[in-house]
Amino acid sequence: MADDQHATPSRTDYTVHKGEVALAVYRKRLPPAPGEPPPPVLFLVHGSSNSALSSFDLTVPGAGEYSAMNVFAGLGFDVWTMDHENYGRSSRTSGNSDIASGVADLVVATELVIRETGQKRMHFMGESSGALRAAAFAMVRPERNAPSSSSIFAHTTAGCATGR
């Protein structure tokens, strides 16, 4: 796997729908080796300040590796993320993309992950309010969480619309 850390993972873009809302979903992985078992799935959940790609797949020319998706793919994960409602390439609505809405987004996105990978359990890592979305999702759909899989980084959401 050490050689994989220097390969460039390929990205595949998807769109799923939560009712009328189109949600952008992104996947990065290294090409699968013949005969090897599928890699574990890692789903990265963004917070309320940035969309998925600016949070987890940032490119800074000449400044080294800034893409968490590339790093985790190089470490052997099948890495997924998404733009929640009202972020990035997902639909704009009158909603505020609160925690409950983020959980509903994750339900739809993880259905895609299961269809594409055949894996029913995945690891989650959320940052800021993405950590709250990931934790709430784990309570709603515990069967989709790999054992001991959530990594959470959150700060206070006092006074923040998504902290409700």
DSSP assignment string, the chain: -TGGGGSPPEEEEEEEEETTEEEEEEEEEPPPPTTPPPPPEEEEE--SSS-HHHHHS---TTS----HHHHHHHTT-EEEEEPPTTSTTSPP-SS---HHHHHHHHHHHHHHHHHHH--S-EEEEEETHHHHHHHHHHHH-GGGEEEEEEEEE----TT-GGG-
- Give mean pLDDT, residues 141-162: 67
CATH number of the domain to which 113 belongs: 3.40.50.1820
Whether the CB-CB separation of 12 and 26 falls below 8 Å is answered with: yes
> Distance (Å, rounded) from C-alpha 8 to C-alpha 29?
9
In the block, residue with structure tokens 């929640």: 84
- Give mean pLDDT, residues 108-129: 95
Per-residue pLDDT, 6:
61
Number of domains in the chain: 1
Task: Give the predicted TM-score (pTM) of the model.
Answer: 0.87
Structural domain of 53: 3-163
Per-residue pLDDT, 32:
83
> Distance (Å, rounded) from C-alpha 46 to C-alpha 102?
10
Tokens of 153: 């980084």
One-letter amino acid for residue 132 of the chain: L
Q: What is the pLDDT of residues 46-58, one digit of tens each?
A: 999 899 999 999 9
